[in-house]
Structure 1
């Protein structure tokens, strides 16, 4: 902790102490209330994984639910949606853009493409609206009911671009009951978080809810080249959501409006940070310092609205879901992460082969979606639903390059434009053949077309003006069939066969190339055998599965390398298999533990597939072809850890009539990952174990709480990503953050 920041801690501590005392007085003066029943068994978790409300234990899908208490702990240090990395079996996430461009992987399947036009095989759905562009996927997590992670192809009900799975976010909805909360925290690095929500009845038919989030971090990384202290690493991230719900008999309408504003640093690249021949930091590396001659800043504004309409018509429910999402952003970074000319001999180790300073922008991104769905109301034997879906996106992307040595003058400019139209017809059915056997099946017909155009106006490498276009399109079936056997009231087993696809993609980063690249549609067929069980008087819940899949024409992105560009390629075949489990249990009424883990094996099978190797000097472990490219047949997929594990534990000690001291800890682990398609000694991340700790006291039956927290409490320093075209540039995880938090509920 620096001296300059210590007064803030004193003010914060005084504020929290005052709030603590005031809340205690209110609690003492208030009339006695009926204490809530102490949970001694696991509560039923309802999910909407198949677009209807069902008990988690009855849904035959590999599925993890992250509840608000877990999300609250994971995000205490200001982490965005990337906090979900390794927090559920088979789920990993990374980014090279900072807080605005998460890239998710499920069962090893993902996409490391950093283009704003990049598609991903993990679909993210926020309040039933698909967030297609990667920029939209970074919306902060606050005031959520829960997060559902659906593993494996979801080709029937979610369709295109979900061959790996779906991550589904559900906001807390308005109700006639007055509810709300407010919480504030402050920690090291000047990390501050304020979050609040308030909802209740507006009239006999209308209810509303408003929630907001503000996150801040001071700059904490010094730039030794400019001499500026705390120059990088800071941000101001704000988001708001307003909802109104109308209910009248068999009709309801839910209106949702949301927005996000972000200003701060882009990812801070660390030039020459990786030791040649090793995946370790070079001597003298300091996470709190950089030596850079380029600029770094980031701005984002997104907003959207959606309308959910439901009519209950006798034995059926008709649903209409309309969504609009818009985004603008600009992100500028010192890509090489170092300097061109050293001012002192000590700076010589940070000199890079050539300066690279680039920016990407979204002048506009507009997405419209519409879904109509007709479903049977819940029946004992037979349930079904049918629907239509429409998607339309209009996006413009600007790519810039700046001459660092010429006062950062613009020397490269290109604009990409794309219009995407997709539509689908889908249906699913669930039929209970007898008391012990149930079968589910679904199918979807999808059509996808894109009109893509890119214009280069200025090239940093001497290329002239350029104009290129492409119009990929595709149409195909996807679906699933699942059988579920009820072995006892508390044990189900299921077998599932599912397929899915990702629509064709196009890539056109033409600042450093004269061509665009396209990828054919990828398809996947997956087999899964699972168990869902509860035991010990409903105090233990264990869900587990094994799976295997084969993917054809997997879309891959060859990033960087010695050709200094990206290109899309298709791998002839990719095989994967593994196992996953989720465990939750009350060991005592005051001690609850959760655990999850996975083993994921991935293997590329394409003897002729090759990619460019590093341009910065590295130790390539793959065989090379005649052109000097790496042959990647047999390699695992990038950013695909074999092992993922997560554990949480909470122990409470009752105190007085309504209070409790508690300790909560969470730990997540992922094994080694490769950053690129080719294998090298340098560009990989060592196994990573990070933990969090929370010590606190709550009173008034949990309605008020004060706690000390720590994230990355072991202060682990780890390489979590890299750039390979100019030098051995690294991305690094955040240091330990320790702070204090106060929360109150209505």
Structure 2
């Protein structure tokens, strides 16, 4: 192997934005992202601010092979990395793509929709990270690190305003208390009036914003060897969401039947092509509250650094939607979740000569009380009455909805170690993790009577009419192993080659019982369990600063071989859906190219390719399927040019875009579950005055007003329609930010 020549002396004096050194902790120690043999996309806080990135979707769009959507509005994010995704929105299911903030795992998908503010860096790690992280997500992870308290007084603020009365306020202040204690307070609030028109009540827009986040950090450094960081955070959201575009499919099978009236839903037909408008009889909502407390202690003892991370968090969610997306009150799906999570990580790390070594223990205790179901007077109407008589809403002896309350708990304990040995231009990495996980689950299926004015599954006036299935308390225990073996070759400071083999694991568990009382799943509770997923991931990659500071190429090729692949699917001829085990393979490649050909010009191109095949799926025997939210091609690009206008300051012009090829929202591929592919582009202009601590920007998101699907649910066999959820329309905003 011939190594490219080094060009260290040719690096520019003024570092280009794309080539800013980003320090990451992907291996539980600080390293330049270009020196880590993992496919990483990392952005510093300065880069996030300069590029105008304000949420997790922006970060994902910058990463090849990564897709991020909000399947139910602003309430949460769903990530897919290299085709590894999850479309089971049950509250007791953890995503195969882990989300961390300040080294703390966020288990609840409903808690991942937090506002991004006061961020020091964002990291997207592609591929299983089995040995060093507390939860063994098979797809990879997304990690955010916040700005820590410093010794100097200062801070920043920003305010933005845009279409739909969209306003974002953000601020942070650093407060030194004495020589060894400092504090930092930061917060953000996001409000808007919404962009979905309800023709039934046009005075109130839907899919609005009403979010806030607040964080307090206290850093104590009593000696040069000890640091104690206390972190307290709260956040909340109360928005009108859960609104879908109605598509008629009265003939079933996921086939559109435009222009055909739906007899079950009052002969309803959506007569226009406006994907951001509908006729909704109910005001859905997503109400969530989160709080968390973390204590991080680092202690240097000789050649060792000892670390303790103790965390406690609570998450509450109350969600309800107009499922049928019509003026008829047929079915209003709800989901409530009240979860508590405690975790403790202990690590010891050292560097002795050519060896870097880290070992540790991890424990997590997660408990959750959940309820899913629907307010459904039309479906529970007395057969002696007309189909649209709503006597069930006022007669407390009749059921008018269903509810499935459940209790679940997860206790996970693990021990891990990883070492890296350096020899000449080579380094060799070996890591191992043992996990013991216990999961408990109990659930009951009920017919209930909701008050006629009920707007939530938590309405206290709800009474149980009939209990017709109970999933008896069940406990499962899993013993799992994850490991890593890797070889790196770094002939000079500008290039790194790596070859790795990772075993990733994700524990088994329980599916929520289905809504269909005739489903075989209800009479066969064993069908509601699934086994641990195992992934053998093989990868070869290169990171090459071909011309340091001017031209960089990072590329990787991978092959995934799954055992007991966890797939969420519906069953033909039934309303039941569950997570089941199947087999799958995935082969793909990624390339990131960054270039700065002239002063002030920054360019980025990312291309991801994934070929995923899923087989041995119950109900689809003999068929080869593909994963959800996993386009074969994923391309992103960015061009930013900053240039002096006069002695008054600089102007930065930016354009970026993301392309996703055809992809699917369910294993059962039908027209209803298919997005044909799309391009979404954004543009911005930023004024940076000379010798000033403020800047002003104008931006347009989705500049072409592209109509693109981010989620569909095929209900054609149930109520003769398909739910479609579209991404945001064109959005213009202005932003003023300053430092002090």
TM over 0.5: yes
Q: CA deviation at 1:279?
A: 11
Correspondence 1:458 to 2:447: yes
Superimposed CA distance per residue, residues 203-233 of structure 1 (whole angstroms, 9 cap, x where no aligned partner):
1001111111111110332222x34333312
Equivalent position of 2:25 in the other structure: 48
From 283, 298, 305, the counterpart of 1:310: 298
Correspondence 1:539 to 2:550: yes
3-state SS of the aligned residue for 2:57?
helix
Measure the CA separation in 1 of the matches of 2:635 and 2:393: 45
Question: Does the CA contact (< 8 Å) of 2:105 and 2:134 recur in 1?
Answer: no
Superimposed CA distance per residue, residues 408-447 of structure 1 (whole angstroms, 9 cap, x where no aligned partner):
675222211011100000000010022x111111100000
Measure the CA separation in 1 of the matches of 2:601 and 2:610: 31
Measure the CA separation in 2 of the matches of 1:632 and 1:95: 32
Measure the CA separation in 2 of the matches of 1:655 and 1:180: 28
Superimposed CA distance per residue, residues 310-338 of structure 1 (whole angstroms, 9 cap, x where no aligned partner):
10001111000001110111001011212
Question: Does the CA contact (< 8 Å) of 2:409 and 2:439 recur in 1?
Answer: yes
Superimposed CA distance per residue, residues 649-685 of structure 1 (whole angstroms, 9 cap, x where no aligned partner):
2111214446111111211111111111011133211
Equivalent position of 2:240 in the other structure: 265
3-state SS of the aligned residue for 1:231?
coil
Measure the CA separation in 2 of the matches of 1:593 and 1:295: 44
From 586, 593, 601, the counterpart of 1:583: 593
From 141, 146, 163, the counterpart of 2:138: 163
Equivalent position of 1:351 in the other structure: none
Correspondence 1:734 to 2:728: yes
From 131, 138, 151, the counterpart of 2:106: 131
Q: CA deviation at 1:507?
A: 1.3
Q: CA deviation at 1:535?
A: 2.5
Q: CA deviation at 1:732?
A: 1.0
Superimposed CA distance per residue, residues 507-529 of structure 1 (whole angstroms, 9 cap, x where no aligned partner):
12454343551111010001000
Measure the CA separation in 1 of the matches of 2:606 and 2:226: 40
Q: Could you tell which deviates more after superposition, 215-224 or 477-486?
A: 215-224
Question: Does the CA contact (< 8 Å) of 2:639 and 2:656 recur in 1?
Answer: yes
Superimposed CA distance per residue, residues 472-493 of structure 1 (whole angstroms, 9 cap, x where no aligned partner):
2201211101101123331110
Equivalent position of 1:447 in the other structure: 436
Q: CA deviation at 1:49?
A: 0.4
Change in 2 beyond 3 A, CA 1:560/1:332 = farther
Measure the CA separation in 1 of the matches of 2:353 and 2:705: 53
From 280, 295, 298, the counterpart of 2:286: 298
Question: Does the CA contact (< 8 Å) of 2:245 and 2:277 recur in 1?
Answer: no
Q: CA RMSD in A?
A: 2.5
Equivalent position of 2:505 in the other structure: 501
Change in 2 beyond 3 A, CA 1:82/1:356 = farther
Question: Does the CA contact (< 8 Å) of 1:86 and 1:670 recur in 2?
Answer: no
Question: Does the CA contact (< 8 Å) of 2:377 and 2:393 recur in 1?
Answer: yes
Equivalent position of 1:230 in the other structure: 204
Measure the CA separation in 2 of the matches of 1:561 and 1:736: 38
Q: TM-score, normalised by structure 1?
A: 0.85
Superimposed CA distance per residue, residues 312-370 of structure 1 (whole angstroms, 9 cap, x where no aligned partner):
00111100000111011100101121243xxxxxxxxxxxxx821121112x2100000
Question: Does the CA contact (< 8 Å) of 1:551 and 1:574 recur in 2?
Answer: yes
Equivalent position of 2:8 in the other structure: none
Structure-to-structure mapping, 1:124-523, within 5 angstroms? 124-224=99-199, 226-247=200-221, 248-272=223-247, 277=255, 284-340=272-328, 355-362=330-337, 364-376=338-350, 378=351, 381-405=354-378, 406=390, 411-434=401-424, 436-458=425-447, 464-468=467-471, 469-513=473-517, 514=522, 516=525, 517-523=528-534
3-state SS of the aligned residue for 1:587?
coil
Superimposed CA distance per residue, residues 263-284 of structure 1 (whole angstroms, 9 cap, x where no aligned partner):
1122311122689757999862
Correspondence 1:557 to 2:565: no
3-state SS of the aligned residue for 1:232?
coil
Correspondence 1:39 to 2:15: yes
Measure the CA separation in 2 of the matches of 1:175 and 1:360: 42
Measure the CA separation in 2 of the matches of 1:274 and 1:201: 62
Equivalent position of 1:627 in the other structure: none
Equivalent position of 2:602 in the other structure: 592
Measure the CA separation in 2 of the matches of 1:61 and 1:164: 13
Measure the CA separation in 2 of the matches of 1:221 and 1:675: 22
Q: CA deviation at 1:636?
A: 1.4
Q: CA deviation at 1:81?
A: 3.0
Question: Does the CA contact (< 8 Å) of 2:242 and 2:285 recur in 1?
Answer: no
Change in 2 beyond 3 A, CA 1:635/1:702 = farther
Change in 2 beyond 3 A, CA 1:179/1:166 = same
Measure the CA separation in 2 of the matches of 1:70 and 1:559: 42
Correspondence 1:745 to 2:739: yes
Measure the CA separation in 2 of the matches of 1:54 and 1:404: 59
Q: CA deviation at 1:451?
A: 1.1
Question: Does the CA contact (< 8 Å) of 2:65 and 2:607 recur in 1?
Answer: yes
Change in 2 beyond 3 A, CA 1:686/1:131 = same
Equivalent position of 1:569 in the other structure: 580
Question: Does the CA contact (< 8 Å) of 1:599 and 1:644 recur in 2?
Answer: yes
3-state SS of the aligned residue for 1:721?
strand
3-state SS of the aligned residue for 1:57?
helix
Measure the CA separation in 1 of the matches of 2:27 and 2:310: 19
Change in 2 beyond 3 A, CA 1:360/1:274 = same
Q: CA deviation at 1:296?
A: 0.8
Residue ranges of structure 2 left out of the alignment (5+ in a row): 1-12, 260-269, 379-389, 395-399, 450-463
Q: CA deviation at 1:578?
A: 0.7
Aligned residues: 671
Measure the CA separation in 1 of the matches of 2:229 and 2:591: 35
From 68, 71, 86, the counterpart of 2:45: 68
Q: TM-score, normalised by structure 2?
A: 0.86
Question: Does the CA contact (< 8 Å) of 1:486 and 1:493 recur in 2?
Answer: yes
From 662, 672, 682, the counterpart of 2:652: 662
From 674, 680, 688, the counterpart of 1:690: 680
Question: Does the CA contact (< 8 Å) of 2:683 and 2:701 recur in 1?
Answer: yes
Measure the CA separation in 1 of the matches of 2:494 and 2:71: 44
Change in 2 beyond 3 A, CA 1:632/1:338 = farther
Q: CA deviation at 1:200?
A: 3.8
3-state SS of the aligned residue for 1:169?
strand
